[in-house]
Each structure stands twice: as structure tokens, then as C-alpha cells.
Structure 1
Amino acid sequence: MRPSPIPQLPPRERIIEAATALFMEQGITRVSVDAIAARAASTKMTVYRHFENKDALVLEWLGQLIESYADALDRMAAQYPDSPRQQLLGFVDFIVQDLERSGYRGCPFTNTLAEVAEDDHPVRAIIQQHKQQQFVRLTALCAAMHLNEPGHVAEELTLMMEGAQVVAQNRGIEHVGERLTAMVQRRLGS
């Protein structure tokens, strides 16, 4: 049984919410504009009135998803302004919460990249830019902690988080979130 749409939202927001739910559940290629319209309690014409095509809707979804990751880092910076270690651990917790979400299908960025074959597709560009910006922020936090070779530590942390997302998806190891947190804590030291 699919969840009922939230009709009190304006059509554009309903469409984005419907697309988000469907893309997270099924990926981008399996989801049709008709399915998005139905889930949003809207029409296909309304979807196209707000979004030129499905790619534009996918880019909007990814933009909002990217913003949520940046917001998580911003929240940690505001909450722990004098503790880059706590900021890093808070971001790891943000990742862990997603891993433990019911029906977790893996990293939405990685899943989306797997569905887009063209190297020059705008979806690839926006995801690559996001991952590079996230890496820069992690490197800055490692540098603020005065860790030796902060870029290398940021690479290790990135590989740990990305790897945890894949392992949580394939269920190769139990308690992935706990293990990721413990590994990051060990890597950052006491």
C-alpha cells in the first residue's frame, strides 16, 4: 500500500516529495513521470508545467539531497564550533542514521550514478561536485584537528563512509553503523 500524498502542499512540492520517495525506493530509471504524478495526486501535465523533463526533476531532487548533506555539516559546525572532532563524528552519525533507515537501498548518489551511463550527463556533474565539496570540508575538519596528512585522513574517512553505505545495502556485515562509528573514532584518536 503506497502512502497517501499530502494534498495540502502546493503541486510543485507534492511532485518533489513524490519523486523523492519513488527515486529512493526504486531508483530514477524505473520511475515514470506518470508514477510521480499519481503519487503526487497530480497530473502528468502538471509535472511538466513545473519541470521541463524528468532530468530536471532528478536534478532538483539531487540538489535538495545535496543541500541536506551540506546542512548536516553546517549544523555540526554551529553545534560544535570549537570541536572539529565532534563535527566529524556528528556528520558520521548523520550517515549512520541513513544506513539504519528501514528499506535502505544504498547511497542515493551512487545508485543514481549507476543508472546514468553518459559521462557528460548533468547528474554526474552535480554528484561529482557534491562529493568533491564534501571531501574539501572533511579535509578542513581534519586539518583543524591538526591531524598528520589531513587530506589522507579525509580520504580514509570518505572511503569508510562510502564503503559502509555499500555494505549496509548488500547486508554483508551486521551493525554497519556501529562499526563505522567505532572505526572513525579509532582513526581520529582519542
Structure 2
Amino acid sequence: MPAPTSEERNRLDRAVLLDAAERLFYERGIRAVGMDQVRAASGLPLKRIYRLFSAKEDLVVAVLRRRDQRWRGELVDHVERVPEPRDRVLALFDWLERWFAEPGFRGCAWINAHGELGSSSERVLAEVRSHKQAFHDQIAEWVRATGAPVVEPVVLLAEGAIVTAGVSGDPAAARHARRAVARMLGTV
């Protein structure tokens, strides 16, 4: 009988697996990636993968959840460095533009997951909605601090810029949205 796997080994294998799956799902699409490809990219045996995540859907949800924490954490770190409330809102769009210009940018992982699985997986849909609500709530907090009653337009401009950049491959969508928000906030 094999020795039980240590918590540390589980943590390390899980991280390797999530890294590999996230990269593959984001680059190629969730449905296009089979578990054999995840196995090859992670270097873990299928048996081990299925011990960590009993189904591909479980893996997808874990990838989205972890990406959400990292993505929103990086955004907050960037924006919260800016002292003035109005400038914080504009810093959101500066961060988005940098993200859009990254090599391998393929749009929003949650919009992509929704497009592929949102109608067939309640758990993926819930994860997508959770991310989008958290993003909305964070933007709302920054906008409310300015005193301007423009939360929903700013959220829509941010979401629209993300989708536009994902489809067009052009980071300029963030600059255009930033200019519109600056006008709304009276900071032009």
C-alpha cells in the first residue's frame, strides 16, 4: 500500500496542476483542452490529478477562483497606491491597459469561461458571476469615494474595454474608456 500523500505534497501538486491548467485553458479554451493535455503540461499522472480534482469542472472552478484572487489582488495593489479618489478610478484603466498589452492576452478568463461553459455548468456560471460581482463592487467602492454618481457607467466602461481589447487585441480600449471616465469625473 502506498504511503499517504503529505499536505505539502498535495499543496505543491495542486499548485503545479492549477498553473498548467490555467495556462492551457486561457491559451486554448477550456473545451479544447483535454485532461491528457493537462497531465502532460503538469507532469502529474492522471490518477493523481483526479485525486486532487475528481472532475474537469472542479479543476475549472479552482482555476477561476485562484485566478480571481490573484487578478483582483494585483489590481487593488496597483490602484490603492494612488492617494486621490478620482485618480484611483483612472488608475484602474491604466492597469487594464497594461494587462491588455501583456503577451498572450486573450481577454477575460471569466467571460471566456462563460462563453464556453456558462450555459452548461452552474458551478462555472456561479464562479463567473462571483468574479464579476466582486469586480463591480471594487469599482463601486473607488467611484463612490469620488462623490460622483457614476458607478454603473464606470463599471460598464471597464467591462466594455476588457471585452473590446479581448476581441480586437488592441490595448487602446482602456485609454478610450479612461478618457470617458475622466470626463464623467470632471478630471479632464
TM-score (norm 1): 0.81
Q: How does 1:108-187 map to 2 (within 5 A)?
A: 108-118=109-119, 121-147=122-148, 149=149, 153-171=150-168, 175-187=172-184
CA contact (8 A) 1:72 1:94 kept: no
> Structure 2 CA distance, aligned partners of 1:139 and 1:86?
14
Q: Any gaps of 5 or more consecutive residues in structure 1?
A: 1-8
Deviation per CA, 1:68-113: give whole Å up to 9, x if none: 2331354246523x42223323332232222112232211111110
Where does residue 5 of structure 2 map in the other structure? none
Secondary structure of 1:79 counterpart: coil
Identical positions, percent: 27
Matched, 1:85 2:82: no
User: CA 1:72 to 1:91, structure 2 compared with 1: closer, same or farther past 3 Å?
Assistant: farther
CA contact (8 A) 1:73 1:87 kept: no
Q: Per-residue deviation at 1:58?
A: 0.7
Secondary structure of 1:10 counterpart: helix
Where does residue 22 of structure 2 map in the other structure? 20
Where does residue 7 of structure 2 map in the other structure? none
> Structure 2 CA distance, aligned partners of 1:87 and 1:168?
21
User: CA 1:118 to 1:170, structure 2 compared with 1: closer, same or farther past 3 Å?
Assistant: closer
Where does residue 6 of structure 1 map in the other structure? none
Where does residue 41 of structure 1 map in the other structure? 43
> Structure 1 CA distance, aligned partners of 2:174 and 2:144?
25
Aligned CA RMSD, in angstroms, stands at 2.3
Q: Per-residue deviation at 1:174?
A: 6.9
User: CA 1:118 to 1:94, structure 2 compared with 1: closer, same or farther past 3 Å?
Assistant: same
> Structure 1 CA distance, aligned partners of 2:176 and 2:159?
13
Give structure 1 regions of 4+ aligned residues with deviation exceeding 4 angstroms: none
